[in-house]
């Protein structure tokens, strides 16, 4: 990669980072709210529970964007780079939907979001240095773990919170699709210790973002 292209890629990465962390999230698609939903009234306990879960999901989507941005920056092939950036754009929709729902619930995003972005970006870039197949395998494993995380949240959401549930259901389907696409593009299964480390790292983020 030439020095000019390297600089352009770096500038684009910085721009994406600043927009992701500090600018209001912009969705290219409307939020998947139920057609018949009338904003069911939640008790204060239910509202707090939903807000905490959606704050975690918001942070998770920000981290996913950062991972893909970091991987795309050092991807070796243009095809892999485009796949990663396409997935990041989908995560941007998810981020905006979660942000909208947080606002409706009268809650704020995690105050540690800049930290989640920087850390995830670094992890993504480091993974991509191992090659495109390992990078795509990382995407597949990330999305597999996110699917399990979303399953847990769908089980914990208050029954009356149909709006949050609709968002998570669409997110789950699209995360599965991202993982399948990465595997089909040549992603390799990561070693068990790496998968375990990914789970532990995710638990730290989700556990902290729930409260902060």
Residue 1 is predicted with a pLDDT of 52
Rounded Cα distance between 31 and 20, Å, is: 18
pLDDT for residue 25: 82
Residue count of the chain, please give it.
Answer: 212
**Predicted local distance difference test score (pLDDT) of residue 7:** 59
* CATH code assigned to 46-211: 1.20.1260.10
The pTM for the full model equals 0.89
Task: Give the per-residue pLDDT at 16.
Answer: 72
Number of neighbouring beta carbons within 10 Å of residue 119:
18
Which pLDDT value is given to residue 34?
Answer: 81
Please report the pLDDT score of residue 33 as a whole number. 85
Q: Which residues contact 95 (CB under 8 A, 6 or more apart)?
A: 20, 25, 58, 61, 62, 65
Cβ atoms of 136 and 183 within 8 Å: the answer is yes
State residue 96's pLDDT score. Answer: 95
The per-residue pLDDT for 68 is 94
Ranges of each domain in the chain: 46-211
pLDDT along the chain (212 residues), means of 10: 58 68 83 73 95 97 93 94 92 95 96 93 93 96 95 96 96 96 95 90 92 92
């Amino acid at each position: 990669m030439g020095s000019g292209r390297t600089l352009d890629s770096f500038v684009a990465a910085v721009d994406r980072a600043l927009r992701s962390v500090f600018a209001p999230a912009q969705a290219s698609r409307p939020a998947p709210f139920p057609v018949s939903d009338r904003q069911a009234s939640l008790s204060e306990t239910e509202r707090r529970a939903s807000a905490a879960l959606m704050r975690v999901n918001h942070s998770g989507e920000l981290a996913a964007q950062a991972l893909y941005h970091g991987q795309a920056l050092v991807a070796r092939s243009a095809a892999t780079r485009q796949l990663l950036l396409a997935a990041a754009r989908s995560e941007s929709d998810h981020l905006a939907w979660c942000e909208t729902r947080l606002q409706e619930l009268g809650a704020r995003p995690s105050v540690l979001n800049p930290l989640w972005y920087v850390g995830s970006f670094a992890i993504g870039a480091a993974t991509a240095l191992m090659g495109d197949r390992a990078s795509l395998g990382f995407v597949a494993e990330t999305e597999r773990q996110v699917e399990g995380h979303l399953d847990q949240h769908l089980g914990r959401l208050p029954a009356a919170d149909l709006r949050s549930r609709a968002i998570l259901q669409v997110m789950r389907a699209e995360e599965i699709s991202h993982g399948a696409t990465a595997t089909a593009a040549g992603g390799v299964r990561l070693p068990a210790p790496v998968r375990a480390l990914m789970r532990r790292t995710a638990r730290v983020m989700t556990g902290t973002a729930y409260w902060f």
